[in-house]
Chain A
Amino acid sequence: MDSYDAGSLPSDDNVNAYSFCLDLTHDWFLKRGAMIAYYGDARFDPLSALSSASAFVAARFSSPVYAQEWVVVSGAGKVVVADRGHDVNSFDLDAGNLTVRAGNLLAFDTSLELKQSIVPGFLTLLGTGTFIASSNGPVIFVEPPFRADPEALLGWADCPSPSQHFDAAWMAASITGMLTGVFGRASGEERQYDFTGSGTVLLQSSEQTRDDPALLRVLTEQTQVLSPTQAAELAGILQARAARA
């Protein structure tokens, strides 16, 4: 077992493969629940407490549905973060952009800008700085063209947002079956995310994802595009699904 004190804990580096130590020489955005220990005089402030006082936070954190899941940690000292014993890694962005699954993002530099991705459940980081993300198993880096399982997808950098790809045989079956009969007989593998262009795709070596409490709010927000009639129809579909469950 490795032992540390406030001085010997690594500064902005991994403590072991499953935890990372943030040095409060500068402020960080931190996901609630990610902190497992801290030394020193650290302050954890909800974004709501800061946004009025500091316009910079509001400008940096451009995602109202995720704002309540995050705090700003400032002050002096060291904060150890971890996520259910999963692998934790830091990534450096240099005037770049990277989109990551919201449930896997644990912390990021306040020098980075956060926006909500078009793909539900994902967040995009822009600019220069460090972010900390967890993965269930080591991270695998792949270059497009590439098709990924949505659950194993951790994120992507520099390439365009993925489109959805459906297995050809499954498509043929759905067309002949007029969709209705075939829905619900999915193997779970017929839907894939298709990446093109140049960049890097990040995968985790597992299909286990964390429940994202903000995902429901993201999807609810997206149903704004539906007409009232369509919304009523959607409500009926969801009710039927809930009744089956």
Chain B
Amino acid sequence: MPYGRLMAVLHASGRVLHADLQGDAIRAASGSMVAYTGQIEFVHAGVGGGEGLKAALKRKATGESVSLMQCRGTGRVYLAQNAADVTVVDLTADTLVVESDALLAVSPGLRLDVRFAGLRGATSGQGLATTTVAGDGQVAILSDGPLIGLSVSPGSPVTVDPDAYVASTGQTTPTLVSGVSWRSLVGGGSGEPFSLRFDGTGLVLIQPAER
């Protein structure tokens, strides 16, 4: 980016995100502002995944949507949601795939998109990470308990409980695993009958709780 990249700085402080704005704008989950100092304007910024008919259709198809607001001005905005832990992930020409409801804020210059993961029908509650954030900048993620990053490399895949899965970066491919061995882990009926195996190169972020 030729100018102004990372002028807005996101900084996690426990369960609150500090966003320091210097005349630029970040996008944050609607209703997540708890306080601000300085001169900040809050404008509804539509839903994540871009504008236009195609994006709207994709959102309808995937059921994924995240209502965003734009915070523009100079000062500091404090953002939080349901006392969830906040983690800031720095992206450098990288892609982050995240559950929409775990997305708190994105710095300027990042592209938000809705990606059809093709797995949704097979899982119970979670809309498996169909929001992607790409480019250079910072993303603030919400989690129940501090996030744990598990790296994935060729020959060393990681398998996670879909209910603990929050986000992933890099080039990772999730595969639904429903082996007999796995199924024995699942409680009588109400549990998640699948696990998610991630292959490739990247980082899988999980929370120490099942949603």
Q: Determine whether the beta carbon of B184 is less than 8 Å from that of A49.
A: yes
7 A-B pairs (CB sep. < 8 Å):
A2-B148, A3-B151, A5-B150, A9-B150, A32-B191, A85-B207, A213-B188
Q: Which of B87, B144, B184, B186 contacts A45 (CB 8 A)?
A: B184
A6, CB-defined interface residue at 8 Å: yes
Q: Determine whether the beta carbon of B147 is less than 8 Å from that of A35.
A: no
> How many B residues have CB within 8 A of the partner chain?
34
- Summed over the interface, the residue pairs from A and B with CB atoms below 8 Å come to a total of 111
Q: Which 9 A-B pairs have the closest CB atoms?
A: A3-B149, A85-B209, A82-B208, A18-B208, A36-B164, A85-B145, A19-B208, A46-B184, A5-B151
Query: CA–CA, A43 to B185, complex, Å?
Result: 10
What mask results when residues 158 to 174 of chain B are scored 1 for a CB within 8 Å of chain A, else 0? 11110010000000000
Query: CA–CA, A44 to B150, complex, Å?
Result: 20
Chain A, residue nearest B164 (CB)? A36
Q: Determine whether the beta carbon of A43 is less than 8 Å from that of B156.
A: no
Chain A, residue nearest B187 (CB)? A32
Chain A residues in 8 Å Cβ range of B148: 1-4, 15-16, 19, 37, 80
Chain A residues 20 to 58 lying within 8 A of chain B, measured CB to CB, are 30, 32-33, 35-39, 42-46, 49
What mask results when residues 199 to 211 of chain B are scored 1 for a CB within 8 Å of chain A, else 0? 0000111111110
What mask results when residues 77 to 90 of chain B are scored 1 for a CB within 8 Å of chain A, else 0? 00000000001010
B182, CB-defined interface residue at 8 Å: yes
B37, CB-defined interface residue at 8 Å: no
In the complex, which of the residues A4, A15, A33 has the most CB atoms of chain B within 10 Å of its own CB atom?
A: A33
Q: Determine whether the beta carbon of B188 is less than 8 Å from that of A33.
A: no
In the complex, which of the residues B87, B146, B204 has the most CB atoms of chain A within 10 Å of its own CB atom?
A: B146
Q: Determine whether the beta carbon of A18 is less than 8 Å from that of B145.
A: yes
Q: Determine whether the beta carbon of A1 is less than 8 Å from that of B185.
A: no
Q: Determine whether the beta carbon of A33 is less than 8 Å from that of B156.
A: no
Chain B, residue nearest A88 (CB)? B208
